[in-house]
């Protein structure tokens, strides 16, 4: 608790993928990082998704997404053309 009676909580966001179509994410929230990570890891196991994977053409259609003030567009291409934030490169 802070002096203004606010409760401090830690949040953890985890993304994983095996590069062959299996992806997952998990979000965890707790009072300390260890418990937040454990909660995120449990959610990670529940959110697994298997995607059809083509090594030559990985995105068959235009994808758009938005979260708060962050927008992302992924265009289908036969050759990767990464630009922007290096963190987004690694996530893609």
User: 72 falls in which pLDDT band (50, 70, 90)?
Assistant: confident
Q: Which residue has the tokens 């606010």?
A: 6
Instruction: Give the separation between CA 11 and CA 33, rounded to whole angstroms.
Output: 7
What's the pTM? 0.52
Tell me the domain boundaries of the chain.
10-91
- Nearest-CA neighbor of 59 among 73, 43, 45, 38? 73
- Nearest-CA neighbor of 65 among 53, 74, 75? 74
Quote the pLDDT of residue 82. 61
Strands across the sheet containing 49-50: 10-17, 22-30, 49-50
Average pLDDT on 64-85 reads 77
Q: What is the largest CA-CA distance in the chain?
A: 57
8-17, 19-28, 42-51, 55-64, range with the lowest pLDDT: 55-64
Q: Which residue has the higher pLDDT, 52 or 10?
A: 10
pLDDT at 76 over 80: no
Measured CA to CA in angstroms, residue 89 lies from 4, 18, 30, 72 at distances of 40, 15, 29, 12
């Amino acid at each position: 608790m802070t002096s203004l009676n606010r409760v401090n909580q830690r949040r953890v966001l985890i993304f994983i993928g095996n590069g062959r179509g299996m992806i997952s994410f998990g979000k965890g929230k707790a009072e300390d990082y260890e418990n937040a990570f454990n909660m995120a890891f449990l959610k990670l196991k529940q959110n697994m998704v298997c995607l059809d994977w083509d090594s030559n053409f990985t995105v068959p259609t235009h994808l758009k997404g938005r979260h708060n003030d962050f927008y992302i567009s992924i265009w289908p291409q036969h050759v990767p053309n990464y630009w922007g934030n290096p963190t987004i490169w690694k996530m893609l």
